[in-house]
Amino acid sequence: MNKSEDKVLTLQWSTVSSRDTAQSIVLPTIVRTFEDYAKVDFAIGDNDPVYFAVRRARDVWGHDWAARFCVGMLTYYHMGTAVKAAEYEGAAFWDYLEEQYNTAPRGAARRHFRGSNGAKGLASMRAFATDPVQLFDNMPDTYLGIKELCQTKLAQFGPYFWLKIADYMDRCLGEEIDYDGLQYNLSTVPAKATQILYPKFSIPEAFELACRRLYNQGLLAPPTYERLIGPAEVETILCDWLHAKQGTNWLGADLITKREALFGYGDKAAQMNLWLPPVVPKGTFTCELL
């Protein structure tokens, strides 16, 4: 017997955006294709759950609080620490993060943000934007412009965080970003994913093919679902898809890890927890990726 024969093949799913608009979608519970993986990942909010909470926080606590939270995430990539940091303004924001430098937990994307190199990175951010809100105000509205500025002004910012800055500006702070050039600057994991999908093509060509493949599905971009997905969303799906294909992640895992990072960080962290998409029990979706 096929291991998936005894499982319901589809599930009616209600997706609620960060603006409380709902849409109903039929999802496959056995996920085999790249397209089906993207469809589920976007619908359950596992693509990047943080964005749902930040958009809500921006509406309730204001743009500047949300911007400070995003800057905090660029340092240690940990939601709890970012919530605490966002409570401080100006120099006090950077003072807090410097005080936490030796003990603050790091998210996976900032696991190497330690020692003298990490300290240089934090110092470069402070020098670039003494008021943390200005970090995004000082950024261009193009991916390539953000890349160039990071390379000249910010230490410890590579391809992953070039895109993360653009994505925060776009999906969390409501600024329109031109992502042209992303296809030539993919970080390691999505680049590898493109080569598994399209081994006969260069990385930029394979990324363009992956984009077209998902664009044809008419998928909407979380957390507001107000526009069709773009290259930034495809890049993130490529990361998630490869991790799932390798068996190092499952659909819904990030919804749990992000919640865990908020525990014990106060009332606003508890509220951010409530604004994350709902937990999806492990096993709701089974990946048998081709």
Q: Is residue 2 part of a domain?
A: no
Q: Is residue 81 part of a domain?
A: yes
Give phi and psi for 182, each to the nearest 5: -60, -35
Tell how far CA 215 is from the center of its chain: 19
Q: Is residue 67 part of a domain?
A: yes
Query: What is d(CA 24, CA 14) in angstroms, rounded to the nearest whole number?
Result: 4
Residue 207, pLDDT above cutoff 80: yes
Q: What pLDDT does residue 1 have?
A: 35
Query: What is d(CA 114, CA 75) in angstroms, rounded to the nearest whole number?
Result: 10
Task: Answer yes or no: are the C-beta atoms of 63 and 173 closer than 8 Å.
Answer: yes
Q: Against a cut of 0.75, is the pTM above it?
A: yes
Rounded to an integer, the average pLDDT of 44-51 is 95
Q: What is the mean pLDDT of the chain?
A: 95
Q: Is residue 166 part of a domain?
A: yes
Q: What pLDDT does residue 236 have?
A: 97
Nearest to 125, CA basis, from 156, 84, 166: 156
Q: What are 260's two structure tokens? A: 């865990």
Q: How does residue 8 score in pLDDT terms, banded at 50, 70 and 90?
A: low
Q: Is residue 3 part of a domain?
A: no
Q: What are 183's two structure tokens? A: 């296809």
Beta bridge partners of 27: 11
Q: Is residue 105 part of a domain?
A: yes
Percent of the chain with pLDDT over 70: 97
Q: What pLDDT does residue 7 have?
A: 59
pLDDT tens, position by position, 230-249: 999 999 999 999 999 999 99
Terminal-to-terminal C-alpha distance of the chain: 18
3-state secondary structure of 103: coil
Distance set, CA 64 to CA 55, 57, 252 (Å): 12, 10, 30
Query: What is d(CA 168, CA 68) in angstroms, rounded to the nearest whole number?
Result: 11
Q: How does residue 19 score in pLDDT terms, banded at 50, 70 and 90?
A: confident
List the domain range (segments joined by +) for residue 215.
10-287
Q: How does residue 89 score in pLDDT terms, banded at 50, 70 and 90?
A: very high
Residue 3, pLDDT above cutoff 60: no
Q: Is residue 4 part of a domain?
A: no
Count up the domains in the chain and report the number: 1
pLDDT tens, position by position, 120-149: 999 999 999 999 999 999 999 999 999 999
Q: Is residue 37 part of a domain?
A: yes
